[in-house]
Amino acid sequence: MQKFPVNEEFALKQTSPKIAGSGVIIGGDKVISAYDLVEQMEYLYVRVVKAKELPAKDVTGSCDPYVEVKLGNYKGVTKHFEKKSNPVWNLVFAFSQDQLQASFVEVVVKDKDVVLDDFIGRISFDLVDVPRRVPPDSPLAPQWYKLEDKKGERVKKGEIMLALWKGTQADEVFPDAWHSDAAAVGSEGVSRIRGKVYLSPRLWYLRVNIIQCQDLIISDKSRPPEVFVKVIFGNQALKTKISHVKSVNPAWNEDLIFVVAEPFEEPLVITVEDRVSSNKDEILGKCLMLLNSVPRRLDNKPVSAKWHNLEKHFVEGEKKETKFASKIHMRISLDGGYHVLDESTYYSSDYRPTSKLLWKSSIGILELGVISATGLSTMKTKDVRGTTDAYCVAKYGPKWIRTRTIIDNVSPRWNEQYTWEVFDPCTVITIGVFDNGHLQGGGKDACIGKVRIRLSTLETERVYTHSYPLIVLKPSGVKKMGEVQLAVRFSCTSYLSMLQKYTDPLLPKMHYVHPLSVTQLDILRYQAIQIVSTRLGRAEPPLKKEVIEYMLDVGSHIWSVRKAKANFMRIMNVMGGVIAIGKWFDQICHWKNPLTTILIHILFVILVLYPELIFPTLFLYLFFIGIWRYRRKPRHPPHMDIRLSHADSVGIDELDEEFDTFPTSKGSDLVRMRYDRLRSIGGRIQTVIGDLAMQGERFHSLLSWRDPRASALFVAFCLIAAIVMYVTPFQIVALLAGFYVLRHPKLRTKVPSYGTNFFKRLSARSDCML
């Protein structure tokens, strides 16, 4: 395989973070056992639970209390309650140990007022006296504390319930706590920056088999009806072809397939329509089906077909007396034997079927530590300077994770660890870094870059700590947006089960027993992505549509000159081994190295005399090649390769075409130039395809008698060859043929052989083309 020079700017870098998983253990906390792929981050936690008997400060005799937690320059504030002397907050504040600039923490209770907030009471704690909590210890029990005035004396009325402790990000309150590094975010925006775990909805393929209709009522009986069936589910609409039976009893036997997600929130709408004219359709009947009653199948056995009444505004399951109605015969099922693809099959993170009844046990555990990022590009402007509010998203299987957002920092440190069950080693985890657009007016979340890691390239039980370059292709060219530091470990629970996976089909059985077409899969994948983005966009905080589409590579199928060149070079790189063998054999035939040629002669004679040694020798040769290359096996997981992608040598006009909308929004002159370039590329491809077709047609013409003299010569040669090979042992024929091919250059001529001359003179069908 061809090796390209590596640009150090875009290269993968091995790192040595202070994590327990790599053998670097700091401190003696047992919390390391649970969070051993990230660096420990020390925090001071303050839980403000509630207060009681707070004194009234307003003229009306009421109290609108809230709490301020102060630690040096940082201040956390709870929401205020109106006219409530016994408020309950139950809010946790987390102050990073790296940012502590004080020796004590102060908790102040105030009364919200229009002009100036009134002081109710306070209490302070020395940080030296704050205890340390180490999970899995139970949470620290909060206690009641008497409030003090500004002089340090206890007030007559008012108590507050608090709990203070020191801990790490392993604490269970960490994800939902208020963080000091997000102090600039208002209370209404805190929920948008917290880390969360999301689960994609379970997706099903809904198969609607339209069989036939009966007793349709046609308004215009003077013409044969042109009937078709339209099926709508949500924003998906499919329709059958116009029935070839032009009567009131049309038939189709056609399958329509949809993507649906649990829970099933919308009904399935079936309408039978008549094509009255080119722009007008008449509805002949309508039926609504609720999917909760649709049978689920796990294999290729068809479910029973049913007749349904066709009426206007009729919901299946309701009791309604009907004397006469048109009917439709359908077979509807939820196919649980398929895997609903929402990712490309080339780098999918899951291949399991929809139905859990068909799932097999897991083979291992994948652990990911999102440690930090460095040198991130500024994505927006704040106070005349660039800023980035970065967070990470990782997807593996149906589980998505989102780290907390680090505010205004181009070198954020997350140090968050997540775990997934692994059911197939030949899967890929995708990690993306994004800029939170909600903090600047609710804009879109900008994509900073992403990383893919294939599990099959990882050694089991080994911790990989690397800094991955975040590479993005922009209209101006390829750009490095920063680096993200990750720690990855793939642990195997059953090594035999994992090895057995390599012999199993990649996709579930139904994909091979009852396959879907490539076009169908593309359409269904697009619908699946839309459903996933809609459902996860309704979570809190929402996982935005642009994030999901970037992680799932929505536009990967769009034409690109750069990708076409890259894929062509990939083919040439793969064929490089075959070409190298051909060159080596040509050197053997021309005696460039006489000793090697003599050894090949000896090996050839042995294999001809003992043909049973051919395959053992071949496999033994491959074995030794594999052992020889083991010492040069990759030490690092693969990552985005700009040279392989042709991202470093692509032209500006090609990038402009790649980033254009579909359909195009460019002017006619530019589109004409692109069309001419595409015609040029297509012309070269057309020539190569024509040459291949010509060689194939020459083979066909050997016995087609299109050229009677050539076919007669070939038939006579076949007869003579058959007689000779009947009377001559095969080993002698093989030896003579081999010695002829390996003959010395002095016995060769520069003129092509008789067989080559004969083949090139055979007629093809090129002369018949216009």
Q: HSE-up of 261 (CA within 13 Å, CB side)? A: 21
Q: In the beta sheet, which residues pair with residue 381?
A: 386
**Amino acid 26: pLDDT:** 47
Burial of 258 (0-12, 13-18, 19+ CB in 10 A): buried
- CA dihedral of residues 209, 213, 218, 222 (deg, nearest 10): 100
Distance CA 349, CA 483 (A): 23
Q: In the beta sheet, which residues pair with residue 208?
A: 256, 332
Both structure tokens of 155: 């007030």
Banded pLDDT at 10 (limits 50, 70, 90): confident
Burial of 474 (0-12, 13-18, 19+ CB in 10 A): exposed
* Overall average pLDDT of the 4-32 stretch: 66
Interior CA angle at 174 toward 382 and 432, to 5°?
Answer: 55
Report which of 417, 2, 512 is spatially closest to residue 197, judged by C-alpha positions.
Answer: 417
Cβ–Cβ under 8 Å, residues 195 and 206: no
Cβ–Cβ under 8 Å, residues 762 and 698: yes
Q: In the beta sheet, which residues pair with residue 307?
A: 329
Banded pLDDT at 313 (limits 50, 70, 90): very low
**How far are the Cα atoms of 178, 317, 627, 721 from residue 263, in angstroms, in the given order?**
33, 18, 52, 71
- Name residues whose C-beta falls within 8 Å of residue 635's C-beta, 6 or more positions apart in sequence: none
Banded pLDDT at 712 (limits 50, 70, 90): very high
Banded pLDDT at 186 (limits 50, 70, 90): low
Distance CA 161, CA 165 (A): 14
Banded pLDDT at 324 (limits 50, 70, 90): low
Long-range contacts at 185-190 (CB < 8 A, ≥ 24 apart) = 185/407, 185/439, 187/77, 187/79, 189/438, 189/439
Banded pLDDT at 161 (limits 50, 70, 90): very high
**Beta-strand runs (E) in 336-442:** 364-374, 380-382, 385-387, 390-396, 399-402, 413-422, 428-435
- Mean pLDDT for all residues in the chain: 87
Q: In the beta sheet, which residues pair with residue 254?
A: 210
Distance CA 528, CA 350 (A): 14
Question: How do 196-199 and 178-179 pair as beta strands?
Answer: unpaired
**Amino acid 441: pLDDT:** 63
Cβ–Cβ under 8 Å, residues 763 and 707: yes
Interior CA angle at 234 toward 233 and 235, to 5°?
Answer: 105
Distance CA 574, CA 2 (A): 9
339-392 tens-digit pLDDT: 999 998 888 999 999 999 999 999 999 999 999 999 999 888 776 678 888 999
Report which of 429, 412, 445 is spatially closest to residue 543, judged by C-alpha positions.
Answer: 445
562-588 tens-digit pLDDT: 888 888 888 888 888 888 888 988 888
Dihedral over Cα of 705, 709, 714, 717: its sign: positive
**Amino acid 673: pLDDT:** 87
Q: Give yes or no for residue 203 having a pLDDT over 50.
A: yes
Of the candidate ranges 7-16, 85-94, 737-746, the one whose mean pLDDT is the lowest? 7-16
Report which of 621, 617, 597 is spatially closest to residue 608, judged by C-alpha positions.
Answer: 617
**Beta-strand runs (E) in 139-188:** 143-148, 154-167, 178-179
* Overall average pLDDT of the 598-605 stretch: 90
**Amino acid 312: pLDDT:** 65
**Amino acid 315: pLDDT:** 42
Q: Between 750 and 519, where is the model more confident?
A: 519
Report which of 319, 232, 216 is spatially closest to residue 270, judged by C-alpha positions.
Answer: 232
Burial of 168 (0-12, 13-18, 19+ CB in 10 A): buried
Cβ–Cβ under 8 Å, residues 447 and 546: yes
Cβ–Cβ under 8 Å, residues 506 and 351: yes
Distance CA 736, CA 605 (A): 10
Cβ–Cβ under 8 Å, residues 203 and 251: no
**Amino acid 577: pLDDT:** 83
Long-range contacts at 659-662 (CB < 8 A, ≥ 24 apart) = 659/474, 659/475, 662/555, 662/558
**Amino acid 318: pLDDT:** 47
Of the candidate ranges 110-124, 436-450, 535-549, the one whose mean pLDDT is the lowest? 436-450
3-state class of 757 per DSSP?
Answer: helix
Angle formed by the axes of helices 730-741 and 708-727, nearest 10°: 120
Cβ–Cβ under 8 Å, residues 99 and 74: yes
For 239, list phi and psi in degrees, rounded to 5: -140, 155
Q: Give yes or no for residue 439 having a pLDDT over 80.
A: no
Banded pLDDT at 228 (limits 50, 70, 90): very high
**Amino acid 756: pLDDT:** 87
**Amino acid 272: pLDDT:** 92
Question: How do 296-297 and 326-335 pair as beta strands?
Answer: parallel
Of the candidate ranges 182-186, 349-353, 372-376, 472-476, the one whose mean pLDDT is the lowest? 182-186
Banded pLDDT at 589 (limits 50, 70, 90): confident
* Overall average pLDDT of the 657-664 stretch: 80
Q: Give yes or no for residue 58 having a pLDDT over 80.
A: no
**Amino acid 1: pLDDT:** 40
Distance CA 747, CA 740 (A): 9
Of the candidate ranges 210-219, 316-325, 398-407, 549-558, the one whose mean pLDDT is the lowest? 316-325
- CA dihedral of residues 136, 142, 143, 146 (deg, nearest 10): 140
**Amino acid 655: pLDDT:** 82
**Amino acid 31: pLDDT:** 45
* Overall average pLDDT of the 666-671 stretch: 86
Banded pLDDT at 23 (limits 50, 70, 90): low
DSSP designation for 125: E
Both structure tokens of 652: 């500006």
Both structure tokens of 410: 């181009």
Q: HSE-up of 127 (CA within 13 Å, CB side)? A: 17
What is the percent of the chain where pLDDT is above 90?
43
Cβ–Cβ under 8 Å, residues 182 and 190: yes
DSSP designation for 683: H
* Overall average pLDDT of the 291-306 stretch: 91
Both structure tokens of 448: 């900073």
